[in-house]
């Protein structure tokens, strides 16, 4: 669509239900009580000049531009700070107001550089617009003192700060405070000396606590804070609303373009997941889409020791099809498999699993959710009947106590973390269960009531001990349990948790959590009206990941915290489409909508629709594919949008498996680490280059819209279709909407979903069907999907991964704000300025014991392997625990992690590895050898001159 | 670790985690029926070596009965 700025109503919408009628400029209007006069006018289409007001932050009343006249009142009140009242008669345009506004604007402009024609914001500047709106034609004031000519701050890689253009409206400060919740900005000085400052006066933006979310840039009404890309390219001339491809929050953005070039990604105010906010990744880190390392031509090679040879699509796909057929004919159909990606769309994922089931003739399809949230699927389906979280993000606004376990939302899910922090600043209580002191434990105006720094691997013990307190102290919600859950199962569970062996005091030596703190936290959680649990991979990536998810569900049911706003069990999904990839039948044991492959009726539905017979047996999980490859029975893999060599545990085993296969097809944006072992490379398209849908952590299905032509010529679903057709499947989709129609036809929870409805509604939360035609923001309101909620006894079973004299420390892994997953995208953006390498966090006591100081190279060794990286000494981790990220392939953190996994789902136990740390001089032999292999494997044959 | 050794460890792990079910051996066997692919099951069923805990051994016996008529 042609570029139009997003409508700014001046002040936030009111949440009041009562309506108020008033008259503005002779026109009657009815608005919610609590609405400002400024907003009421905007809602009826009357634009009152303004500068310090914007609808993302509370009104401030400083610019004196939005003055109005109100009958019966003296003076000219600021409309932004004046709430509507019944019968109010407002005039927004009078000669007196015009004179006042022109005078105010004249003062502003007298201290503003008049360089509009060469300013980056020319044509997209509120100050410029308002000068025009009030009819300012000259400035009478002689220049005696001004703020012009101040040094610009270019330190941030994505935006500039030019204090000479600042009008001191404080919108940036208020956005940082109210929207982002970082409070990095302040107004230094007083009066004429007032100046926006990032942190201390000595800081620049890059060196400050600013997290580059972009809220200040979006709020700025001038060019004081402006995207470097706008300065470089110019203002946009069109926009497309789409969905971010980073984390599972699923922010809605307006991609704003000039022609085919993206100028900026601006959070969309109507986005129901992000409500107009963004983080540094979604807002700014999209440059990877046009990075020089993107592969845009298909490539093939006979052996992985050969250089790649660029070929046309037809040759690549017919070669791939012939190899898959050869291997199937030679070794049998079970020698083939595929991996879908949580980074790809629902439609792409659905096609990959269909290709495997209908084309390969087996169920050997798995997804990267295997290594992150597969225990969520198992645990919540067992207890509630649905493999998904129970709430929408808006639910947090009604929450009284938030329990975060195994999640680091300010880094992993920053936009939702900002909403969480807003609720906490408003008075909600906070319990954090995490081995590390994550940022949310203590940040500006927020301090956790209880931080339980448990020993890694003891989640189940901690949650069962909390349940012990709740049951034995009579804090359980018996009325809820009797009405909504299986009472007999509850009694068995209550008896189990009440046993003295599950008392906090008994388990303290195991969990290392002080019993008094744990008791107090349990009482707090059970006693507040609305308690919500948010969790992440610190729950799932354990040998008892599924048990922990069920223990969380037990706790929610026992306290009656299910089925309404402000409560619930909320898995924070790591990647953008983890929920969707799981929904689409990516697991080897189930079809879309989580229906088991052995169910004859479900299978018959698909067999009729697809015209093939389906194998009723579960297929191979990713670890089983690799085991099978090493054992010589699994030979071919189609891997879309996933880098298993870097992301999966026990790297040496993964590489051995990949090396043993005869045909590895990698379909991705870049020559990733897995591609080192590939024979066929199919170039992928970014989220900016294709149509489809993503489903976020709140089950919200959202449109992904093509904003630019695919650089490789094809959207990913087209590549999969052409591969399927090269194998003779005869697919005829012309647009992803037709794939969604098929998903809806075959999946009861998606029955009411279509692209037309998504375009009309913006998004829909499944289930969307006859029972819930407009979707289901909150689940299990009147009853659980499975009928009665199921309490599951979750006995604590210690992991087999033990510390000892050789490996006395426990390694746990995670991620940071500026990078995403294996870093394939974010490492190819300016985000590297914040994190150029993975670091090992080690407690000062452990560091001292080993003679390690911050910045030193250290060897990190486990029974699986060893790597080297630099240390950072910090008490964020407890003694005995070390921590690192896995964003950089040079570090190869997963060389160290083991093959141990969750008992129910095989989700790897990334979070608990026994290790030793020692000073080191440089890379290990493995790292050196791998770098050699990696360089060699990425060679591309020179193109022919003809 | 060999695939067979992993399978022994995995079934033992399942058995350990369903000890509080009414019939832990049946729960273990049912879990394997639902989630393990035929090759994993075959490796488990053909394996005569020890290393299984008591529940896992009983589950394997149940699975032998269940899958005796199926080609693995």
Cα separation, A63 vs B11, whole angstroms = 70
Q: Nearest residue of B to residue A629 by CA position?
A: B3
Alpha-carbon gap, residue A375 to A309, rounded angstroms:
41
Q: Inform me whether the pLDDT recorded for B49 exceeds 70.
A: no
A929 touching chain B per CB within 8 A: no
The band of A923, judged by pLDDT with boundaries at 50, 70 and 90, is confident
| Alpha-carbon gap, residue A887 to A646, rounded angstroms | 9
| Reported ipTM | 0.95
Three-class SS string for A5-42? CCCCCCCCCCCCCCEEEEEECCEEEEEECCCEHHHHHH
Biggest CA–CA distance in chain A, Å, is: 91
- Give yes or no for a contact between A763 and A701, defined as CB atoms under 8 angstroms apart: yes
- B67 to chain A nearest CA, in Å? 12
Partnered with residue A309 across adjacent β-strands are A300
Q: Give contacts of A863 with chain B, Cβ < 8 Å.
A: none
DSSP state of A387: S
Q: Give the Å distances, CA to CA, from A635 to A325, A657, A663, A723, A908.
A: 11, 9, 6, 18, 23
A631 touches chain B (CB under 8 A): yes
Chain segment A753-796, per-residue pLDDT in tens: 999 999 999 999 999 999 999 999 999 999 999 999 999 999 99
- The confidence score (pLDDT) of residue A147 equals 86
Mean pLDDT of A497-519: 98
C-alpha distance from B45 to closest chain A C-alpha (Å): 16
Task: Categorize the per-residue pLDDT at A915 as very low, low, confident or very high, splitting at 50, 70 and 90.
Answer: very high
- Asked if A268 contacts A276 with a C-beta cutoff of 8 angstroms, the reply is yes
The terminus-to-terminus CA distance of chain A in angstroms comes to: 42
Tokens linked to A933: 């292999």
Query: Cβ separation of B37 and A588 shorter than 8 Å?
Result: yes
B35 contacts on A by Cβ (under 8 Å): 589, 618, 904-905
Is the pLDDT confidence value at A853 over 60? Answer: yes
Tokens 């689409």 found at: A584
Q: Which of A695, A659, A663, A661 is nearest to A682 (CA)?
A: A663
Q: If you average pLDDT over residues A603-622, what whole number do you get?
A: 97
Q: What percent of chain A has pLDDT over 90?
A: 92
**Chain B residue closest in CA terms to A863:** B1
Structure tokens at A523: 């009482």
pLDDT digits (tens, 9 = 90+) for A723-738: 999 999 999 999 999 9
Q: Which residues of A touch B34 (CB under 8 A)?
A: 589, 596, 598, 618
Q: Take residue A653 and report the two structure tokens written for it.
A: 């085993």
Q: Report the relative pairing of strands A89-91 and A69-70 from DSSP bridges.
A: antiparallel
Partners of A628 on chain B (C-beta within 8 Å) are 3, 39
How crowded is residue A422: how many other Cβ atoms within 10 Å of its Cβ?
19
Q: How far apart are CA A495 and CA A484, in angstroms?
A: 19
A451 within 8 A of A512, measured Cβ to Cβ = no
Residue with tokens 């929920």, as numbered in its chain:
A579
CB spacing of B34 vs A596 below 8 angstroms: yes
Record the tokens describing residue A617, joined without a space. Answer: 């047996």
Three-state DSSP string of A423-461: HHHCCCEEEEECCCCCHHHEECCEECCEEECCCCCCHHH
Closest Cβ–Cβ partner in B6, B13, B38 for A617: B38
- Residues A327-341 have pLDDT tens digits of 999 999 999 999 999
d(CA A60, CA A172): 12
Give me the torsion for CA of A650, A653, A657, A660, rounded to 10°: 150
pLDDT at A192: 87
End-to-end C-alpha distance for chain B, whole angstroms: 23
Name the interface residues of B facing A (CB cutoff 8 Å): 1, 3, 6, 9-10, 13-14, 16-17, 19-21, 31, 34-40
* A899 touching B (Cβ < 8 Å): yes
A118 backbone dihedrals φ, ψ, rounded to 5°: -110, 5
Question: Judged by CB atoms within 8 Å, which residues 356-395 of A form the interface with B?
Answer: 363-364
pLDDT of B71 over the 50 cut: no
Q: Please, are residues A412 and A815 in contact by the beta-carbon 8 Å criterion?
A: yes
CB A785 within 8 A of CB A386: yes
Per-residue pLDDT reduced to its tens digit, A410-444: 999 999 999 999 999 999 999 999 999 999 999 99
Interface contact B35-A904, CB threshold 8 A: yes
Average pLDDT over residues A595-622: 97
Mutate one of A624, A653, A797 to test the B interface: name it (highest B CB count within 10 A).
A624
CB contact under 8 A, A904 and B31: yes
* Chain segment A129-157, per-residue pLDDT in tens: 999 999 999 999 877 788 888 999 999 99
How far apart CA A523 and CA A531 sit, in angstroms, is: 11
Inform me whether the C-beta atom of residue A599 falls under 8 Å from chain B C-beta atoms.
no
Residue range A794-823, pLDDT digits in tens: 999 999 999 999 999 999 999 899 999 889
- What is the three-state SS of B11-57? HHHHHHHCCCCCCHHHHHHHHHHHHCCHHHHHHHHHCCCCCCCHHHH
Residue in B14, B37, B56, B63 to test binding to A, most A beta-carbons within 10 Å: B37
The CA distance from B57 to the nearest CA of chain A, in Å, is 17
Give the DSSP H or E segment for A842: strand A839-842
Residue A824, pLDDT > 60, answer yes
Contacts of B20 in chain A (CB under 8 A): 492, 496, 793, 795
pLDDT for the residue numbered A53: 97
Query: Residue A70 and residue B36: Cα distance in Å, rounded?
Result: 74
The predicted-structure confidence for A339-374, as pLDDT tens digits, reads as follows 999 999 999 999 999 999 999 999 999 999 998 899
SS3 A812: strand
Find chain B residues with C-beta within 8 A of A494's C-beta: none
Tell me what pLDDT residue A1 has.
67
- Does pLDDT of A880 surpass 80? yes
Mutation target for B interface from A360, A618, A633: give the one with most B CBs within 10 A. Answer: A618
Across residues A19-40, what is the average pLDDT? Answer: 97
Q: Is A544 on the interface with B (CB under 8 A)?
A: yes
Instruction: Give B40's contacts in chain A (Cβ within 8 Å).
Output: 624
Average of per-residue pLDDT values in chain A: 95
Chain A residues whose CB is inside 8 A of the B63 CB are: none
Structure tokens at A488: 């007999």
Predicted confidence at residue A202, as pLDDT, reads 76
C-alpha–C-alpha distance, residues A813 and A795, integer Å: 25
| Contact criterion met (CB < 8 Å) for B17 and A795 | yes
């139009």: which residue's tokens?
A4
Q: Which of A501, A430, A431, A512 is nearest to A465 (CA)?
A: A501
- At residue A889, the pLDDT reads 87
Beta-carbon separation of B14 and A904 below 8 A: yes
For residue A173 the two structure tokens come to 């400060």
**B11, B17, B33, B40: best mutation site toward chain A, by most A Cβ within 10 Å?**
B17
Q: What is the mean pLDDT of residues A104-124?
A: 92
Given a cut of 50, whether residue B72 has pLDDT beyond it is no
Say what angle helices A545-558 and A374-383 make with each other, to 10 degrees. 40
**pLDDT of B45 above 60:** yes
């Amino acid at each position: 669509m042609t570029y139009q700025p997003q409508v700014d109503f001046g002040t936030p919408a009111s949440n009041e239900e009562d309506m108020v009628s008033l008259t503005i400029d002779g026109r009657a209007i009815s608005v919610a009580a609590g609405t400002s006069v400024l907003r009421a006018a905007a809602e009826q289409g009357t634009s009152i000049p303004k500068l310090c007001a914007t609808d993302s932050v509370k009104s401030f009343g400083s610019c004196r531009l939005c003055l109005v006249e109100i009958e019966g009142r003296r003076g000219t009140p600021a409309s932004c700070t004046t709430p509507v009242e019944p019968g109010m008669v407002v005039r927004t345009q009078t000669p007196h107001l015009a004179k006042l506004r022109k005078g105010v604007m004249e003062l502003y402009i007298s201290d503003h550089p008049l360089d509009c024609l060469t300013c980056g914001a020319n044509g997209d500047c509120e100050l410029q617009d308002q000068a025009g709106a009030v009819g300012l034609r000259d400035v009478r004031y002689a220049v005696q003192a001004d703020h012009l000519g101040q040094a610009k701050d270019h330190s941030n890689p994505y935006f500039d700060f030019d204090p000479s253009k600042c009008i001191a409206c404080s919108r940036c400060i208020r956005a940082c405070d109210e929207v982002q919740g970082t409070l990095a900005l302040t107004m230094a000085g007083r009066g004429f000396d007032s100046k926006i400052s990032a942190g201390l006066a000595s800081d620049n933006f890059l060196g400050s606590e600013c997290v580059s979310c972009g809220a200040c840039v979006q709020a700025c009404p001038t060019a004081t804070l402006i995207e470097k890309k706008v300065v470089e390219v110019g203002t946009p001339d069109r926009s497309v609303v789409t969905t971010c491809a980073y984390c599972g929050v699923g922010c809605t953005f307006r991609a704003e373009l000039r022609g085919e070039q993206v100028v900026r990604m601006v959070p969309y105010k109507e986005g129901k997941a992000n409500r107009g906010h963004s983080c540094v990744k979604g807002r700014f880190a999209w440059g990877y889409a046009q990075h020089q390392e993107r592969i845009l031509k298909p490539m093939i090679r006979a052996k992985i020791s050969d250089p790649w040879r660029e070929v046309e699509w037809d040759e690549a796909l017919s070669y791939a099809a012939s190899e898959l057929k050869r291997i199937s004919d030679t070794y049998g159909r079970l020698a083939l498999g595929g991996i879908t990606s949580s980074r790809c769309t629902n439609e792409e994922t659905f096609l990959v699993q269909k290709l495997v089931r209908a084309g390969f003739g087996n169920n050997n399809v798995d997804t990267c959710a295997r290594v992150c949230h597969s225990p969520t699927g198992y645990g919540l389906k067992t207890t509630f009947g649905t493999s998904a979280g129970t709430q929408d993000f808006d639910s947090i606004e009604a929450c009284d106590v938030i329990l975060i376990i195994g999640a680091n939302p300010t880094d992993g899910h920053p936009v939702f973390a900002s909403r969480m922090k807003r609720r906490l600043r408003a008075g909600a209580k906070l319990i954090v269960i995490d081995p590390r002191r994550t940022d949310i434990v203590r940040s500006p105006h927020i301090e956790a009531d209880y931080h339980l720094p448990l020993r890694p691997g003891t989640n189940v013990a901690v949650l069962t001990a909390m349940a012990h307190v709740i049951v034995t102290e009579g804090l359980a919600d018996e009325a809820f349990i009797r009405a909504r859950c299986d009472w007999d199962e509850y009694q068995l569970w209550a008896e189990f948790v009440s046993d003295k062996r599950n008392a906090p005091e008994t388990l303290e030596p195991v969990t290392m959590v002080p019993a008094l703190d744990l008791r107090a936290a349990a009482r707090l959680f059970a006693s507040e009206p609305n308690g919500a649990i948010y969790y992440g991979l610190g729950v799932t990536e354990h040998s008892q990941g599924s048990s922990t998810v069920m223990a969380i569900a037990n706790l929610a049911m026992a306290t009656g915290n299910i089925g309404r706003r402000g409560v619930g069990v909320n898995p924070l999904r790591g990647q953008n489409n983890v929920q969707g990839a799981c929904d689409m039948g990516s697991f080897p044991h189930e079809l879309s909508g989580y229906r088991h492959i052995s169910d004859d009726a479900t299978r018959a539905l698909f067999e009729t629709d697809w015209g093939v017979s389906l194998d009723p047996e579960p297929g191979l999980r990713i670890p089983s594919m690799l085991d099978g490859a090493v054992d010589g029975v699994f030979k071919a893999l189609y891997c879309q949008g996933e880098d298993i060599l870097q992301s999966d545990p026990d790297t040496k085993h993964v590489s051995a498996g990949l090396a043993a296969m005869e045909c590895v097809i990698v379909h991705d944006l870049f020559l990733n680490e897995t591609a080192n072992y590939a024979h066929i490379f199919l170039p992928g398209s970014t989220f900016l280059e294709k149509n489809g849908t993503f489903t976020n952590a709140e089950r919200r299905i959202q449109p992904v819209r093509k904003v630019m032509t695919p650089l490789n010529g094809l959207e990913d679903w087209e590549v999969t279709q052409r591969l399927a057709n090269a194998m003779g499947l005869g697919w005829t989709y012309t647009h992803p909407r037709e794939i969604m129609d098929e998903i809806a036809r075959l999946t009861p929870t998606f029955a009411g979903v279509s692209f037309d409805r998504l375009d009309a509604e913006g998004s829909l939360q499944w289930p969307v069907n006859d029972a819930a035609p407009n979707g289901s923001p909150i689940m299990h309101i009147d009853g659980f999907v499975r009928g009665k909620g199921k309490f599951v006894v979750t006995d604590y079973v210690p992991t087999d991964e033990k510390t000892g004299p050789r490996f006395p420390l426990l390694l746990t892994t995670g991620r940071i704000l500026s990078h995403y997953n294996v870093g394939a995208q974010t490492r190819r953006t300016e985000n590297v300025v914040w994190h150029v390498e993975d670091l090992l966090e080690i407690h000062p006591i452990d560091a001292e014991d080993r003679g390690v100081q911050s910045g030193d190279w250290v060897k990190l060794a486990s029974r699986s392997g060893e790597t080297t990286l630099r240390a950072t000494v910090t008490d964020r981790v407890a003694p005995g625990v070390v921590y690192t990220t896995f964003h950089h392939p040079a570090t190869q953190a997963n060389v160290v992690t083991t093959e141990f996994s969750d008992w129910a789902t095989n989700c790897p136990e990334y979070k608990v590895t026994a290790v030793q740390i020692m000073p080191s001089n440089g890379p290990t032999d493995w790292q050196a050898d791998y770098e050699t292999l990696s360089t060699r494997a990425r060679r591309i044959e020179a193109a022919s001159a003809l | 670790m060999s695939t067979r050794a992993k399978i022994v460890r995995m079934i033992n792990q399942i058995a350990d985690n369903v000890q509080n079910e009414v019939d832990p051996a049946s729960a273990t066997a049912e879990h394997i029926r639902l989630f393990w692919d035929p090759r994993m099951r075959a490796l488990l069923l053909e394996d005569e070596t020890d290393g299984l805990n008591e529940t896992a051994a009983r589950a394997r016996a149940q699975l032998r009965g269940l899958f005796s008529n199926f080609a693995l």
